[in-house]
Amino acid sequence: MTGSAGGTVPAAVGVRGLWKRFGDQVAVAGIDLELPAGQFVGLVGPNGAGKTTTLSMVTGLLRPDSGRILVAGHDVWADPVAVKSRIGILPEGLRLFERLSGRELLAYTGRLRGLPGEEVDQRATQLLDVLDLAGAQHKLVVDYSTGMRKKIGLATALLHNPEVLFLDEPFEGVDPVSAQTIRGVLERYTASGATVVFSSHVMELVESLCDWVAVMAAGRIRAHGPLAEVRGAAPSLQAAFLELVGAHGRDDGQSLDWLGGGAR
Ligand SMILES: Nc1ncnc2c1ncn2[C@@H]1O[C@H](COP(=O)(O)OP(=O)(O)OP(=O)(O)O)[C@@H](O)[C@H]1O
């Protein structure tokens, strides 16, 4: 791996020949990919494309069948401790310690990350404030709403100031005001040279947030590069995406002639 994406920007993530099968099902079919550092990178694709499987392997949660992965210059499977200290993860279906309060969860995460107690307290207070969770900081996580869970999950992922942040559907269940706040936090974070890699189905969101996108379908990368390049001449990323994943001309419900219309 050269450590560069597009030749100019150093790579935050480099993947070579990555494969994962579940029985007969090929989830990830030998992908090569370099994600540029300091950018907002979107990983998009239809249901079952292999996004979550790819992100799980890249973040050291799922062992690949074959392939090599470098994150922030370190091999994920040969040097997992070096990688884990440099990344933050907000996974899909996030599991949290439900019987801790938001504040306790951050304190616990900070200590696990080896941060001094005072630093953890200070960072936790700031994150809780910015993410509008200060009022709920002493409430148990089990009593948090979906959006609040996303926000406290994001706070735990950011607490140690990682070089690369991986987010699986970070805006799901988050109200527009909180989404704007999260956006601001992430934009500030990437402006300082850090990298955000996030997967989403919401093309408008990807189009408005991302500098760089990779489009995945059926376990392969169909297109990757700066947003404008991937969008090409298409009127929107959504249109380019439908073209790339071969969704044009598909039956979009016309065959369901019994549905609606009052004929019951
Ligand atoms: N643990 C597993 N066991 C068996 N098959 C799996 C497993 N995890 C994923 N798969 C299969 O691998 C393929 C890719 O799944 P994956 O969850 O990575 O897709 P995705 O792009 O994240 O989809 P979505 O957008 O719906 O979340 C799918 O066909 C899925 O059924």
Token pair of 29 as six digits: 């079919």
Q: Which long-range contacts (CB under 8 A, 24 or more apart) does 218-221 make?
A: 218/29, 218/49, 218/50, 219/26, 219/27, 219/28, 219/29, 219/31, 219/49, 219/50, 220/29, 220/30, 220/31, 220/50, 221/31, 221/32, 221/33
Q: What is the pLDDT of residues 94-143, one digit of tens each?
A: 788 999 999 999 999 999 999 999 999 999 999 999 999 999 999 999 99
Cα(48) to centroid of ligand 1, in Å?
A: 5
| pLDDT classification of 3: cutoffs 50, 70, 90 | very low
Token pair of 151 as six digits: 């926000």
| pLDDT classification of 151: cutoffs 50, 70, 90 | very high
Instruction: Out of 19, 21, 22, 221, give the residue to mutate to test ligand 1, the one with the largest number of ligand atoms within 8 Å of its CB.
Output: 22
Q: What is the pLDDT of residues 169-184, one digit of tens each?
A: 888 878 888 888 888 8
Q: Comparing 23-27, 28-32, 255-259, which segment has the lowest mean pLDDT?
A: 255-259
Token pair of 216 as six digits: 């995945």
3 state DSSP class of 187: helix
Return the percentage of the chain with pLDDT > 70, whole number. Answer: 93
Report how far residue 20's alpha carbon sits from residue 54's, in angstroms, rounded to the nearest whole number. Answer: 8
Number of helical (H) and strand (E) elements in the chain, helices listed first? 9, 11
3 state DSSP class of 80: helix
DSSP 101: B
Kindly give the number of the ligand 1 atom that is closest to the alpha carbon of 55.
Answer: 18
Q: Atom 16 (ligand 1): residue with closest C-alpha?
A: 50
DSSP output for 159-180: TT--SEEEEESTTTT--HHHHH
Please state the pTM of the whole predicted model. Answer: 0.88
Q: Please compute the mean of the pLDDT values over residues 152-170 and round it to a whole number.
A: 93
Q: What is the pLDDT of residues 58-97, one digit of tens each?
A: 999 999 999 999 999 999 999 999 999 999 999 877 788 9
Q: Atom 30 (ligand 1): residue with closest C-alpha?
A: 48
